[in-house]
């Protein structure tokens, strides 16, 4: 019997987490091999590795504990990748040399697969004087554009684009430009952006007071606080960004407030981190821990939860020692504080199984109870590790216990920490779990509600035929298996019918026992009034949340997957959504037809010769592989790497025309060239143009600029009928906002990883 609850789960494992040789040959034959690989790697730091390997395997078995994707894909592979999910980089100096040193560090971190956060508040505002030169500063937004361009050129480990978060304080003189920057769809597309909102600012908003915009002690101008708040709200209402981070609340509640200051978060916001801070993530699958689901007396198995949390904490602590780090400063920071982020997934499914309606007072009470149990177990497990291995190096008992988060911790836990210390400075976080939730059988993601009870996805088979698969929520499938063809009970609720303030209630209930933060999206109906929309953010502030992210579908942000109102109806795949996802690469026939093109880049001694070979499926020709040759040996390494990557994408199938858009968007900082009366920003863009012309010639796309647009400079098309933007990975029109990040419900692709 397969351990996978659904075909999509096995496909996600094969695509994302299965260890394979460089030529694609599987090394992990089964998912049990994957669990064993992870368990063995994380037990290697122990004095008794065999004992702990078996304990770790038992925790991983049947998807009960889900390490984050970086750990699942990288542990035990000996690859030069980090097992940490997210980083906040060093403080950006207000100098040209310092800024570009930070840019280099960001590139090195993303190269190893880390998502990064930066606070751009430290850069002087646009128009400020620059000492020593007769010029005015260009401002932080101009340097964010440079970061954005760098990120577009780097493919993170694990075949995903680098993810970035940019923050700016609400009192920075350029805050208004920052708020509206992403209203230009071509700008800062590699960034999530959030405003750092302070307590005094919120007080000024409520009192309708003046608000000074300040840099380096100088007041640049004064605005009305409420007008600035409304500007943030309006941009978020129309464009889904910026997010809001209540930064003073984060610092006040930080266990380490005595030795660090936080000014930025990772890309999805659940990890506020200090300069060079890093965090690894993992989730307890609550959907696997319910006894007698849907029966009288159904309840979470809290003793099993306690034991599982203890094992997970030990595994995560070992990752600190087992992981590589892109920068030495990140390694030192991680070792000094041993910060980890244990969270949950499957919360909504677990609530359904015990008969609670997500968003209700009862569900909030259960969420508080379960998250409290996890926090207790996590802190006590870390105390036990401190007894055995020592407390984190910067531990100071009274300073630690006096922090905001620790003041409401149970007194017996505080006493244990006071006496024995604690191994990990922070322990809990609710991270995005979109992909690992699919891998675990399509359990509900993080603390989000069930998004859709079921949907269909198209899959292209090797022979070119198409099949449709039903993807059903884990709890809904369990209900069907237990009850048969019976209507779902009234307490079943999904994201389409949930009131926004019910989202806030659930986030606030979870936040009480989470010492870092929570990645959550509050879905709002398209017709919500602006006044009611603002009330959502004010409710998040009033109820103690550390931040707020909303998503209101509209013609700009894109619609979300349509879901039937009927309780058990399966939403049909959108008509006309003909782009499909291929389950595995096509085999290469012995002979292929193709064409070779010559590209002569100005100032280059030798030309490039680009060969594109095609395969015919169902009478239609499509690109299958690319080769690039040149006599210039300086080009050898990058052309080989490029052709292998492009060919791998082509063999996966679907609408691969997005490759053209990605290549054409690359610019060379040394300057491009004019070719045939047109400015080409880089040699890579020239290669993209050749591939585009070939796709047009074989009828794969209709014309120049008409390929799949992963670049938001293009207009989103066919939004009617409930369609969202096309997924840049599989091409399906099933992108939706989950946990603060656009995620594809068809293949699991996420902008934030």
Active site residues: 266, 268, 270
Residue carrying structure tokens 């976080």? 429
Give the C-alpha distances (Å, rounded to integers) separating 728 from 14, 73, 308, 474, 656. 19, 21, 36, 26, 8
| Residues in the chain, total | 753
Helical (H) or strand (E) element with 100: helix 96-111
Give me the phi and psi of 519, to 5 degrees please. -95, 110
What is residue 744's DSSP assignment? E
Which of 157, 148, 156, 53 has the alpha carbon at shortest distance from 103?
148
In contact, 79 and 22? CB cutoff 8 Å: no
Closest CA to 68 of 88, 87, 83: 83
Closest to 478 measured CA to CA, from 293, 617, 342, 329: 293
Q: How far is CA 81 from CA 115, 135, 343, 467, 730, in A?
A: 12, 42, 23, 36, 25
HSE of 577, CA atoms in CB hemisphere, 13 A: 29
How far, CA to CA in Å, does 3 sit from each of 6, 62, 366? Answer: 9, 7, 29
CB 126 within 8 A of CB 141: yes
The tokens for 584 are 């595995």
DSSP string, 193-219: EEEEE-HHHHHHHHHT-EEEEEETTEE
Structure tokens at 225: 């606080």
**Which residue is it, tokens 């000492």?**
131
Is omega for the bond preceding 577 within 30 degrees of 0, making it cis? no
Angle at 463 between CA 457 and CA 466, to 5 degrees: 20
Q: Is 573 helix (H, G, I), strand (E, B) or coil?
A: coil
The pair of three-digit structure tokens given for residue 142, joined into one six-digit string:
């101009």
Which regions of 447-557 does DSSP assign to beta strands (E)? Answer: 454-460, 466-472, 522-523, 547-548, 550-551
- For residue 259, the tally of other CB atoms under 10 A from its CB is 16
Rg of the Cα atoms in the chain: 26
Rounded to the nearest angstrom, the gap between the alpha carbon of residue 729 and the centroid of all alpha carbons in its chain is 15
> What is the C-alpha separation between 490 and 158, in angstroms, rounded?
41
Going by C-alpha positions, the residue among 164, 162, 169 that lies closest to residue 144 is: 164
Helices 683-697 and 636-652 cross at an angle (nearest 10°) of 40
User: Do strands 278-285 and 86-88 pair parallel, antiparallel, or not at all (unpaired)?
Assistant: antiparallel
Q: Could you give the maximum distance between any two Cα atoms of the chain, in Å?
A: 78
């Amino acid at each position: 019997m397969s351990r996978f609850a659904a075909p999509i789960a096995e496909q996600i494992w094969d695509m994302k987490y299965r260890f394979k040789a460089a030529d694609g040959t599987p090394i992990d034959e089964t998912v049990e091999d994957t669990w064993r690989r992870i368990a063995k790697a994380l037990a290697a730091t122990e004095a008794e590795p065999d004992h702990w390997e078996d304990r770790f395997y038992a925790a991983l078995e049947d998807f009960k504990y889900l390490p984050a994707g970086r750990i699942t894909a990288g542990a035990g592979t000996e690859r030069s990748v980090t097992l940490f999910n997210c980083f906040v980089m060093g403080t950006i100096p207000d100098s040209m040399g310092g800024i570009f040193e930070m840019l280099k560090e960001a590139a090195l971190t993303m190269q190893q697969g880390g998502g990064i956060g930066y606070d751009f508040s430290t850069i002087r505002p646009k128009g400020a004087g620059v000492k020593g030169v007769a010029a005015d500063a260009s401002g932080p937004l101009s340097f964010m554009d440079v970061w954005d361009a760098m990120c577009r050129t780097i493919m993170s480990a694990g075949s995903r684009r680098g993810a970035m978060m940019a923050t700016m304080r609400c009192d920075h003189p350029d805050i208004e430009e920052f708020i509206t920057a992403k209203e230009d769809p071509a700008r800062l597309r590699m960034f999530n952006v959030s405003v750092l909102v302070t307590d005094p600012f919120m007080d000024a908003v409520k009192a309708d007071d003046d608000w000074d915009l300040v840099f380096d002690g100088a007041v640049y101008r004064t605005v009305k606080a409420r007008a600035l708040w409304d500007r943030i709200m309006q941009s978020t209402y129309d464009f889904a960004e910026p997010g809001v981070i209540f930064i003073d609340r984060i610092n006040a509640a930080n266990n380490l407030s005595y030795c660090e200051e936080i000014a930025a978060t990772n890309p999805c916001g659940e990890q506020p981190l200090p300069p060079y801070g890093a965090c690894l993530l993992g989730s307890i699958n609550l959907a696997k821990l319910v006894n007698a689901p849907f029966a009288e007396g159904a309840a979470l198995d809290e003793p099993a939860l306690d034991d599982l949390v203890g094992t997970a904490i030990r595994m995560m602590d070992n990752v600190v020692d087992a992981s590589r780090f892109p920068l030495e400063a990140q390694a030192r920071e991680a070792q000094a504080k041993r910060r980890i982020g244990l969270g949950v997934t499957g919360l909504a499914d677990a609530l359904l199984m015990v008969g609670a309606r997500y968003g209700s007072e009862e569900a909030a009470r259960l969420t508080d109870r379960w998250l409290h149990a996890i926090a207790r177990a996590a802190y006590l497990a870390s105390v036990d590790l401190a007894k055995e291995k020592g407390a984190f190096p910067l531990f100071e008992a009274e300073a630690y216990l006096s922090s905001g988060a620790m003041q409401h911790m149970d007194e017996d836990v505080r006493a244990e920490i006071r006496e024995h210390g604690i191994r990990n400075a922070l322990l809990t976080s609710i991270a995005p779990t979109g992909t690992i939730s699919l891998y675990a059988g399509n359990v509900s993601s993080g603390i989000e509600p069930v998004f859709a009870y079921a949907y269909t996805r198209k899959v292209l088979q090797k022979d070119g035929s198409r099949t449709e698969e039903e993807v059903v929520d884990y709890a809904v499938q369990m209900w069907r298996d237990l009850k048969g063809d019976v209507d779902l009970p009234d307490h079943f609720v999904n994201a389409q019918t949930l009131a926004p303030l019910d989202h806030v209630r659930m986030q606030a209930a979870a936040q009480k026992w989470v010492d870092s933060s929570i990645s959550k999206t509050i879905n709002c109906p398209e017709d919500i009034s602006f006044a009611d929309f603002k009330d959502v953010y004010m409710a998040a502030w009033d109820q103690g949340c550390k931040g707020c992210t909303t998503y209101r579908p509209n013609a700009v942000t894109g619609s979300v997957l349509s879901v039937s109102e009927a309780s058990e109806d399966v939403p049909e795949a959108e008509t006309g959504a003909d782009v499909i996802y291929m389950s595995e690469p096509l085999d290469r026939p012995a002979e292929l037809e193709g064409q070779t093109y010559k590209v002569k880049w100005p100032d280059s001694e030798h030309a490039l010769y680009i060969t594109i070979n095609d395969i015919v499926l169902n009478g239609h020709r499509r690109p299958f592989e690319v080769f690039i040759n040149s006599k210039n040996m300086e080009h050898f390494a990058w052309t080989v790497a490029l052709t292998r990557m492009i060919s791998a994408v082509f063999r996966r199938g679907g609408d691969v025309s997005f490759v053209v858009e990605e290549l054409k968007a690359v610019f060379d900082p040394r300057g491009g060239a004019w070719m045939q009366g047109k400015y080409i920003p880089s040699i890579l863009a020239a290669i993209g143009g050749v591939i585009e012309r070939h796709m047009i010639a074989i009828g794969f796309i209709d014309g120049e600029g008409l390929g799949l647009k992963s670049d938001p400079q293009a207009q989103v098309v066919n939004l009617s009928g409930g369609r969202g933007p096309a997924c840049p990975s599989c091409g399906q029109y099933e992108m939706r906002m989950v946990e603060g990040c656009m995620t594809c419900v068809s293949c699991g692709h996420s902008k934030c990883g």
